[in-house]
């Protein structure tokens, strides 16, 4: 039911038709969707988390002139799986002086919200777990706010000073950074006029200049405010004070080991993907490519005479790939920052929030509201309601100013993107020789078979 | 969520059963953890039980298609208020396991008050006829909610925001007053500002 829901309301999905025949009945559909939801959900979150952990280690390795995990599987891809097995086999320890019930509960409280937030992420036009969730974006924010509860409880229940310090930092950091996070999202939402993640995606289907980030300068700035605030609310470096290793041993999860410890990491990397996904869906055009091809193809396929389930399914798969790569790109930037920037003190972190980000976000909110009033953006869904590349039509509809500004912002954004990419490419190319020199091992003489090696 | 949509899209037994099962699940979750809130003597455990109560009520809102209310419930109560409660406990409590020790008199007063409240609620629920026919089906359009809140009900909305502003000014005043005291008594070993700096 949730996946490909627009079809399944009237008719069962393609896969279901294959398995159960033409008309499976509502009970079968319900059980099927429940199982699908549970397995795909659990699988997706674990897969995302495991991939991100591997990637984080790989990125960290390359930034420190190392290779990173490369033994288990191709490129070390299965390293997370091996670590998972290792963690499963470890003893489930709880300190004697801890509050045992809360200590055991906390990892689940941290993990479950990250899991539930995937409900509203738009992987494709029909590939959302719950496309009719009208408050999708707000739902994700609400559920991620609950995640903090698990972290705070973990620190508190451990009955350990470092853990409590970590939990307290998490609490004050999260409570303060939620405000600029929410306000910067509102700036984007004001320009779109909806909180439904699927509608947000459809609105941005007409190529790069219809992406929400380029709608007006205030949304463009809100994108960066959101990114910084999301780093802090996700306790990612440079705002990883709740678990700062240099002062607090491991912060809130000092006392955890084994599988319970790994739940916190699943939660963290799941939440990273969710936060990146919000950013991709709200600002960066969701599942759409920069040329508006997916949107054009989708609305062409949705016409009654062209309706084709198989083609629609393929389109959704491509859309999901695009969406995931956008979210992963943002995760890569998060990792890049983590291994580049030093960690500020907690008072600096709170100063940055209350005295810099919060006023900035409020100014952006005000500016965005005034902008809506003075230079309104073109309403409607591209390709369905209007042709985004027919510039004469834009002018006829009276949106010349909006179009000019959108294209101008698009060029600025594009220039920034190209500059960043070429910078990374340059760094990777110039660092290549350096890395080989540092890590190339000295040649070892292989001992011949008869020879006894003296140690 | 999917179940609420199920209930409205196909009026059939399976959908109704699913809705009923979920209703009882959330109701038991909310009611059971509410009892834990009242019974537990450890304040942090009380807060955790309250989290489950609030989440259960949010689930009930979802079943009623009131998605916005459910999300607000989560973000304001579960994500905001509860964290502040625990934060307050962390800053003030001497040990993680401080317990309520209620005196007999307090128990008697609280019980009698609770009984009166329960009686009033039960009488109120029994005597009211609920208009189930006007129940909104389908997802509530959230943009309409915004228009109503900032259009028809603008005055109550603004009055509430003035109240919140007053609370914020009061909090800032209290915090500032305490810091001044701390600066005057800086010679004392544990001034609050220094303590705060040490903690952070």
Closest Cβ opposite residue A346 in set B6, B14, B200: B200
Question: Domains of chain A: which residue ranges?
Answer: 1-89, 93-417
CA distances from A260 to A89, A242, A333, A375, B83 (A): 12, 17, 28, 52, 22
Q: Give per-residue pLDDT as tens, A98-124.
A: 778 888 888 888 888 887 888 788 888
**What does chain A come to in residues?**
455
A379 touches chain B (CB under 8 A): no
* Rounded Cα distance, B28 and B60, in Å: 11
Contact flag B12-A26 (C-beta cutoff 8 Å): yes
Which positions in chain B have a beta carbon within 8 angstroms of at least one beta carbon in chain A?
1-2, 5-6, 9-10, 12, 14-15, 18, 42, 44-45, 48, 51, 55, 67-68, 71-72, 74-75, 78-80, 82-84, 86-87, 90-91, 96-97, 139-143, 197, 199-200
* Rounded Cα distance, A373 and A152, in Å: 42
Cα-atom radius of gyration of chain A, to the nearest Å?
A: 24
Of residues A364 and A450, more confidently modeled = A364
Give Cβ neighbours of residue A213 (< 8 Å, ≥ 6 apart): A188, A219, A220, A223, A283, A284, A409, A413
What is the reported pLDDT for B96? 57
Q: Give per-residue pLDDT as tens, A271-284.
A: 888 889 999 988 88
A346 touches chain B (CB under 8 A): yes
Q: Give per-residue pLDDT as tens, A427-455.
A: 778 766 665 555 566 677 766 666 555 55
Give mean pLDDT, residues A77-94: 84
Contact flag B67-A142 (C-beta cutoff 8 Å): no
Contact A120, B2 (CB under 8 A): no
Given the structure tokens 């491991």, which residue do they identify?
A250
What is the reported pLDDT for B7? 42
Report whether pLDDT(A225) > 70. yes
Contact flag A168-B91 (C-beta cutoff 8 Å): yes
Q: Give per-residue pLDDT as tens, B132-143.
A: 655 555 556 777
CA distances from B50 to B35, B85, B157 (A): 10, 11, 27
Contact flag A195-B6 (C-beta cutoff 8 Å): no
Listed residue (A394, A363, A372, A414) closest to A214, CA to CA: A414
pLDDT band at B28; cut points 50, 70, 90? very high
A145: which chain B residues are within 8 Å (Cβ-Cβ)? 74-75, 78-80
A393 touches chain B (CB under 8 A): no
Beta bridge partners of A128: A122
* Rounded Cα distance, A282 and A377, in Å: 16
Contact A379, A224 (CB under 8 A): no
Task: Show the tokens assigned to B1.
Answer: 């969520």
Q: Give per-residue pLDDT as tens, A38-79.
A: 777 777 777 888 888 888 888 888 888 778 888 887 888 888
Instruction: Determine which of A70-74, A92-96, A362-366, B185-189 has the lowest per-residue pLDDT on average.
Output: B185-189
Supply angle C-alpha A259, A264, A269, rounded to 5: 120
**pTM of this structure:** 0.80
Supply angle C-alpha A287, A288, A289, rounded to 5: 125
Task: Show the tokens assigned to A6.
Answer: 């627009």
Task: Show the tokens assigned to B84.
Answer: 């502040």
Contact A112, A149 (CB under 8 A): no
Contact flag A30-B6 (C-beta cutoff 8 Å): yes
Task: Show the tokens assigned to A144.
Answer: 């991620």
* Rounded Cα distance, B129 and B137, in Å: 20
What is the reported pLDDT for A16? 55
* Rounded Cα distance, A297 and A311, in Å: 10
Beta bridge partners of A382: A386
Report the SS3 class of residue A95. coil
Of residues B180 and A133, more confidently modeled = A133
- Summary mean pLDDT of chain B: 75
A96 touches chain B (CB under 8 A): no
What is the reported pLDDT for B191? 44
Listed residue (A118, A186, A123, A127) closest to A147, CA to CA: A118
A146: which chain B residues are within 8 Å (Cβ-Cβ)? 51, 55, 74, 78-79
* Rounded Cα distance, A51 and A41, in Å: 15
Cα-atom radius of gyration of chain B, to the nearest Å?
A: 23
Give mean pLDDT, residues B169-196: 59
What's the helix, strand, coil split of chain A in %, to 5?
70, 0, 30
Q: Give per-residue pLDDT as tens, B60-77.
A: 888 877 788 888 888 888
Buried b (16+ CB within 10 A) or exposed e, A219-244: bbbbbebbbbbbbbbbbbbbbbbbbb
DSSP state, residue A275: H
* Rounded Cα distance, A229 and A275, in Å: 10
Listed residue (A74, A159, A30, A178) closest to B2, CA to CA: A30
- Closest alpha carbon within chain B to A140: B71
Cα dihedral A384→A386→A387→A389 (10° resolution): -130
Give mean pLDDT, residues A365-379: 85
Neighbours of A210 (CB within 10 A): 26
Closest Cβ opposite residue B75 in set A142, A159, A169: A142
Given the structure tokens 């698009």, which residue do they identify?
A410
* Rounded Cα distance, A162 and B87, in Å: 15
Reported ipTM: the value is 0.75
- Summary mean pLDDT of chain A: 80
* Rounded Cα distance, B27 and A104, in Å: 24
Task: Give, to the nearest 10 degrees, the angle between helix A26-63 and helix A258-282.
Answer: 100
B196: which chain A residues are within 8 Å (Cβ-Cβ)? none
- Furthest CA-CA distance within chain B: 74
**HSE-CB of A131 using CA atoms within 13 angstroms:** 21
Beta bridge partners of B42: B99
Contact flag B83-A1 (C-beta cutoff 8 Å): no
In percent, the amount of chain A with pLDDT more than 90 equals 5
Given the structure tokens 């959900």, which residue do they identify?
A41
A130: which chain B residues are within 8 Å (Cβ-Cβ)? 1-2, 5
To the nearest whole Å, the CA of A154 is away from the closest chain B CA by: 12
- Closest alpha carbon within chain A to B73: A142
Report the SS3 class of residue A382. strand
pLDDT band at A363; cut points 50, 70, 90? very high
CA distances from A163 to A71, A345, B151 (A): 34, 17, 47
Contact flag A157-B141 (C-beta cutoff 8 Å): no
- Closest alpha carbon within chain B to A150: B48
Contact B16, B7 (CB under 8 A): yes
B67: which chain A residues are within 8 Å (Cβ-Cβ)? 133-135, 139
- Closest alpha carbon within chain B to A26: B14
Contact A267, A234 (CB under 8 A): no
Report whether pLDDT(A30) > 70. no
Residue A34: is it exposed, middle or buried by C-beta count within 10 angstroms (0-12/13-18/19+)? middle
* Rounded Cα distance, B33 and B48, in Å: 9
Q: Which of B41, B66, B83, B140 to mutate to test the interface with A (most CBs of A within 10 A)?
A: B83
Domains of chain B: 1-101 (1.20.120.1200), 142-200 (no CATH)
């Amino acid at each position: 039911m949730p996946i490909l829901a627009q079809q399944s309301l009237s008719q069962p999905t393609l896969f279901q038709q294959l398995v159960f025949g033409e008309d499976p009945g509502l009970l079968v559909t319900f059980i099927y969707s429940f199982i699908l939801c549970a397995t795909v959900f659990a699988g997706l979150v674990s897969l995302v988390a495991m991939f991100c952990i591997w990637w984080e280690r790989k990125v960290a390795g390359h930034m420190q002139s190392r290779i990173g995990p490369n033994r288990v599987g191709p490129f070390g891809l299965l390293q997370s799986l091996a670590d998972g097995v290792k963690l499963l086999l470890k003893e489930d320890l709880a300190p004697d002086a801890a509050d045992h019930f809360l200590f055991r509960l906390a990892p689940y409280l941290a993990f479950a919200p990250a899991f539930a937030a995937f409900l509203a992420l738009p992987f494709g036009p029909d590939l959302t777990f719950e496309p009719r969730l009208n408050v999708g974006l707000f739902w994700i924010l609400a559920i991620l706010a609950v995640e903090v509860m698990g972290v705070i409880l973990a620190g508190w229940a451990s009955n350990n000073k470092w853990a409590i310090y970590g939990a307290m930092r998490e609490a004050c950091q999260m409570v303060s950074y939620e405000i600029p996070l929410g306000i910067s999202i509102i700036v984007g939402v004001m320009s779109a006029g909806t909180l439904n993640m699927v509608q947000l995606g459809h609105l941005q289907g007409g190529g790069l200049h219809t992406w929400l980030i380029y709608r007006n300068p205030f949304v463009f700035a809100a994108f960066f405010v959101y990114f910084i605030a999301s780093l802090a609310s996700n306790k990612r470096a440079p705002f990883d004070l709740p678990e700062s290793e240099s002062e607090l041993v491991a912060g809130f999860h000092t006392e955890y080991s084994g599988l319970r410890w790994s739940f916190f990491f699943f939660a963290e990397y799941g939440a990273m993907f969710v936060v990146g996904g919000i950013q991709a869906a709200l600002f960066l055009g969701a599942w759409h490519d920069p040329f508006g091809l997916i949107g054009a193809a989708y609305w062409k396929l949705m016409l009654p005479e062209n309706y084709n389930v198989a083609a629609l399914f393929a389109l959704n798969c491509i859309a999901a790939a695009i969406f995931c790569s956008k979210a992963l790109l943002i995760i890569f930037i998060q990792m890049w920052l983590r291994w580049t920037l030093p960690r500020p003190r907690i008072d600096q972190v709170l100063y940055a929030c209350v005295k810099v980000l919060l006023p900035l976000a409020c100014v952006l909110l005000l500016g965005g509201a005034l902008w809506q009033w003075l230079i309104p953006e073109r309403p409607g869904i591209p390709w369905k309601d209007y042709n985004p590349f027919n510039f004469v039509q834009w002018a006829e509809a009276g949106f010349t100013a909006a179009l000019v500004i959108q294209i101008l912002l698009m060029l600025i954004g594009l220039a920034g993107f190209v500059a960043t990419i070429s910078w990374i490419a340059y760094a990777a190319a110039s660092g290549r020789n350096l890395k080989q020199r540092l890590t190339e091992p000295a040649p070892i003489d292989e001992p011949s078979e008869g020879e006894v090696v003296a140690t | 969520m999917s179940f609420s949509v199920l209930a409205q899209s196909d009026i059939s037994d399976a959908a109704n059963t699913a809705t009923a099962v979920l209703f009882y699940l959330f109701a038991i979750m909310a009611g059971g953890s509410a009892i834990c809130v009242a019974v537990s003597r450890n304040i942090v455990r009380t807060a955790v039980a309250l989290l489950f109560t609030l989440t259960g009520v949010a689930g009930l809102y979802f079943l009623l298609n009131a998605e916005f209310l459910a999300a607000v419930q989560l973000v304001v109560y579960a994500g905001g208020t509860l964290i502040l409660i625990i934060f307050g406990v962390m800053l003030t409590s001497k040990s993680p396991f401080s317990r309520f020790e209620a005196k007999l008199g307090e128990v008697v007063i609280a019980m009698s008050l609770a009984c009166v409240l329960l009686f009033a609620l039960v009488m109120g629920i029994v005597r009211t006829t609920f208009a189930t026919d006007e129940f909104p089906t389908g997802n509530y359009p959230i943009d309409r909610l915004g228009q109503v809140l900032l259009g028809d009900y603008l005055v109550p909305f603004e009055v509430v925001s003035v109240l919140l502003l007053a609370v914020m000014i009061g909090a800032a005043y209290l915090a500032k007053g305490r810091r001044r005291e701390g600066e005057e008594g800086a010679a004392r070993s544990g001034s609050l500002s220094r303590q705060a700096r040490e903690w952070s």
